Structures are given as structure tokens and as C-alpha cells.
């Protein structure tokens, strides 16, 4: 069986989901974007990443399984290859993060029109509506955490090289990871980013991880924020920076909204804070503390609520519900059974 993975366009944030999987399966990751290729070679040097023109897609048309991370790519590629008689290929959807989003409408269901879908754990398996739209599922577990642990030493060195401000160990590291402005939940990026930066205490190093789709849909706003605050000594604004677990391993406090990165952060059992506009409290938000929408001093509020020991058990339970441990041998065996 030949497995390949394909990532199109400048979806650099999907690298962290496909590259570790390709490493585990000893499969190449084919990209068609020079930016994605550059980011891939920089942050995932252990993975076979290849830059190919889309017109050369048929160079891997003899594959049995193609791993994808975007919802509609499988349907589109299946039609393309089918038109040329290549109808034996199966397309496998690899989720790009655990989330409380993406299940309200059938057309944005992440499993819609997939041949095979990978699931992280019980949380995804419990979504019966989503599972009904896919032919087969394979449990994969948290392979990204496994990948990070395998190369932890190398990634600690890479973090200091790419984010030199982290070498100042006198400051606590706060991560602000707003989601993009989708059709379900608004992003906190527009209303909270500048407020966080302008009120930032000197003893805190703030890392702002901007979702690339915010740049795609709101380029002027994103560029303005980056240019205005790029020289702030205790602020790092990351745009095309795909690493998740290596970064989270350095973070002391997480600030988010509906981003799937919050689920990854559960593993570390550290303080979590959320901006929320929903009347319903998502599962993830129950593992942290919501910042009141009219709070005038965000960092003072966070400082008063840093002791979240009572939420450690909730974090542990939700993490276990969301992710199985990654068993490389069992995963490969189950994947091969479908082909």
C-alpha cells in the first residue's frame, strides 16, 4: 500500500496535523505552495516534504490512500482522478484539531464526503451525526503529542532559535490564541488583541498566535496589528508559525476563545482563560475561567484567578475524553485493514 498526503495552498497551520502523521506512516507530504514548503522544511525537518506543481498530481496517482486535512479536497480530487479512470484511490480526512465547532450544519461537518476519517478519541466517536456521513473511521489518538515527545530536545532548540525572546526566563509566558471569524463563533482577535498588548505588564511575555485565515479574510487588520506592535519587547506576534505542542510546552497561561489549541493545552493542566460570546458554556471553557466581557483590567483578573487547582481534574477528564494515546503499531494495522 502506498500512502501519500497532500496539502494545497498556504494552509501552513495544517502542517502540524499532517507532518507528524506522515512521519509516523513513513509517507511523503506533498505541497503546492512555496510558503508551506518553506515552513514545512523549517519546522518539520524530520518529515519527507515535497514541493510539486498541481499539474504533477498524477505522479502520485498510484497511491492507495491520500491523507487530506481540508474538508472538500477529497470530494474534489476524487472527481478529478475518477475522470481519468483513477477511481481506486481512497481519501482519508485528518482533522486539524479538536474543537467545539464545526458540527452545526451538515455542509461544514468535518467528516462530510470522506472515504475514511481519523478520530482522536471518545469525543469525536460520540458525534453520531458526523460519523454517519463517512464510510470508515480509524482511531488515531494524539499522534501530535507523540511526535513532539519524540523530538522534544530538537524542538526546544528550534523554539529558542525562531523565538529568541523566549530566552528571557524572567518573564511569565502568556499565549493568546484567538480562532478565526467563522460562521459559528466570532473571533476575539478584533476586540481583544490591542487591549491585551497595550495593558501588558512588563513581567509578562505575550505570544499572539494569529490564525492564518484571519489574514486571508482580514489582511488589512492583521497587517496593521503586526506592524504596529512588532517591536514591542515582550510581545511575539506569530502568523505562519505552525508548531503547537513545542510552543505550548513553554506557556504558563493560555488565553483563547474557541480555538482547538485549547484542547491541546489541556495536557499541561495549566491556567486557562477564555473570551466567550455564547450563552452556552462549551466543554473546554468549563476547564478554565471566562473573562467577563466588561472586565476593565484583564491581567489583574487573570492574576487573581491563576490558582486553578480545582479544575485540574476537569482538564484531565476532558483531555482523556478527547484523545486516546497514540499506538503507532495498532494505528498502522487498522489503517491497512481498510485498503
Query: pLDDT value at position 90?
Result: 85
Q: Say whether both 332 and 306 belong to one domain.
A: no
How high is the pLDDT of residue 108?
A: 43
* Pair (121, 216) in one structural domain: no
Range of the domain at 217: 157-322
Above 60 in pLDDT, residue 51?
yes
Say yes or no: 228 and 268 in one domain: yes
Write the pLDDT tens digit of every residue in 71-82: 767 777 777 777
Is residue 147 included in any domain, yes or no?
no
Average pLDDT over the chain reads 89
Whether 149 is in a domain gets the answer no
Same domain for 34 and 163? no
Q: What is the pLDDT of residues 206-220, one digit of tens each?
A: 999 998 888 888 899
Chain segment 127-170, per-residue pLDDT in tens: 766 677 778 899 999 999 999 999 999 999 999 999 999 988 89
205/305 same-domain check: yes
Q: Do 29 and 90 belong together in one domain?
A: yes
Mean pLDDT computed over 277-291: 86
Question: Per-residue confidence at 301, pLDDT binned at 50, 70, 90?
Answer: very high
Q: How confident is the model at residue 48 (pLDDT cuts 50, 70, 90)?
A: very high
Q: pLDDT tens, 217-237? A: 889 999 999 999 999 999 999
Asked if the structure places residue 192 within a domain, the reply is yes
Q: Are residues 164 and 230 in the same domain?
A: yes
Instruction: Report if residue 9 sits inside a domain.
Output: yes
- The residues, any chain, with a CB within 8 Å of residue 211's CB and separated by 6 or more, are 13, 178, 179, 180, 187, 189, 259
- What pLDDT shows up at residue 230? 92
Asked whether residue 283 falls in the same domain as residue 333, the answer is no
> Whole-angstrom Cα distance, residue 166 to residue 171?
9
Higher pLDDT, 112 or 82: 82
Q: With cut-offs at 50, 70 and 90, classify the pLDDT of residue 70.
A: confident
pLDDT at 155 (0 to 100): 98
pTM summary value? 0.92
pLDDT in tens, 183-195: 666 788 888 999 9
Mean pLDDT of 38-66: 85
Does residue 208 sit in the same domain as residue 113?
no
2-9 average pLDDT score: 90
Q: What is the pLDDT of residues 17-43, one digit of tens each?
A: 999 999 999 999 999 999 999 999 999
Residue 152 lies in a domain: no
Does the residue 40 lie in any domain?
yes
Q: What CATH code is carried by the domain that includes residue 53? A: 3.40.50
* Contacts of range 314-319, beta carbons closer than 8 Å, 24 or more positions apart: 314/286, 314/287, 315/266, 315/269, 315/272, 315/287, 316/266, 316/269, 318/263, 318/266, 318/283, 318/284, 318/286, 318/287, 319/263, 319/266, 319/267
- The whole-number pLDDT of residue 59 equals 63
Same structural domain, 125 and 188 = no
Residues 107 and 161 in one domain: no
Determine the Cα–Cα distance for residues 281 and 293; give it in Å rounded to an integer: 14
Judgement on whether residues 115 and 73 belong to the same structural domain of the protein: yes
Query: Total domain count for the chain?
Result: 2
Residues 96-109: pLDDT tens digits?
A: 898 776 545 544 45
Q: Could you tell me if residue 148 is inside a domain?
A: no
In a domain, 66, yes or no: yes
The domain that holds 235 is classified in CATH as 3.40.50.12580
Torsion of CA 77, 83, 88, 93, to 10 degrees: 10
pLDDT > 70: what percent of the chain?
89
Complete DSSP assignment for 219-264:
HHHHHHHHHHHTT-TTEEEESS----HHHHTT-SEEEESS-THHHH
Amino acid at each position: 500500500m502506498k500512502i501519500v498526503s497532500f496539502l494545497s495552498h498556504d494552509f501552513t497551520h495544517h502542517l502540524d496535523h499532517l507532518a507528524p502523521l506522515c512521519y509516523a506512516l513513513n509517507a511523503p507530504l506533498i505541497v503546492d505552495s512555496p510558503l508551506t514548503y518553506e515552513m514545512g522544511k523549517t519546522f518539520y525537518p524530520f518529515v519527507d516534504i515535497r514541493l510539486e506543481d498541481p499539474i504533477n498530481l498524477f505522479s502520485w496517482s498510484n497511491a492507495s490512500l491520500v491523507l487530506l486535512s481540508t474538508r472538500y479536497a477529497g470530494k474534489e480530487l476524487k472527481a478529478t482522478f475518477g475522470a481519468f479512470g483513477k477511481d481506486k484511490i481512497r481519501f482519508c480526512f485528518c482533522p486539524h484539531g479538536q474543537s467545539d465547532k464545526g458540527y452545526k450544519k451538515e455542509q461544514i461537518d468535518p467528516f462530510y464526503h470522506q472515504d475514511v476519517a481519523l478520530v482522536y478519541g471518545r469525543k469525536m466517536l460520540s458525534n453520531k451525526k458526523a460519523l454517519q456521513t463517512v464510510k470508515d473511521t480509524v482511531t488515531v489518538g494524539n499522534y501530535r503529542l507523540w511526535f513532539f515527545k519524540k523530538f522534544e530536545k530538537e524542538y526546544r532548540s528550534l523554539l529558542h532559535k525562531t523565538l529568541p525572546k523566549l530566552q528571557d526566563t524572567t518573564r511569565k509566558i502568556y499565549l493568546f490564541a484567538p480562532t478565526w471569524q467563522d460562521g459559528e463563533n466570532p473571533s476575539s482577535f478584533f476586540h481583544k488583541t490591542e487591549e491585551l498588548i497595550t495593558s501588558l505588564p512588563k513581567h509578562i511575555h505575550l505570544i499572539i498566535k494569529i490564525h492564518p485565515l484571519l489574514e486571508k479574510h482580514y489582511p488589512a487588520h492583521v497587517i496593521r496589528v503586526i506592524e504596529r506592535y512588532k517591536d514591542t519587547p515582550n510581545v511575539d506576534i506569530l502568523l505562519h508559525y505552525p508548531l503547537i505542542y513545542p510552543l505550548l510546552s513553554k506557556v504558563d497561561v493560555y488565553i483563547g476563545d474557541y480555538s482547538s489549541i485549547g484542547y491541546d493545552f489541556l495536557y499541561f493542566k495549566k491556567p486557562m482563560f477564555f473570551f466567550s460570546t455564547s450563552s452556552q458554556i462549551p466543554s473546554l471553557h468549563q476547564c478554565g475561567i471566562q473573562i467577563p466581557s466588561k472586565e476593565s483590567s484583564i491581567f489583574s483578573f487573570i492574576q487573581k484567578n491563576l490558582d486553578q487547582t480545582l479544575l485540574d481534574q476537569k482538564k484531565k477528564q476532558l483531555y482523556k475524553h478527547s484523545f486516546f494515546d497514540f499506538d503507532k503499531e495498532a494505528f498502522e494495522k487498522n489503517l491497512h485493514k481498510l485498503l
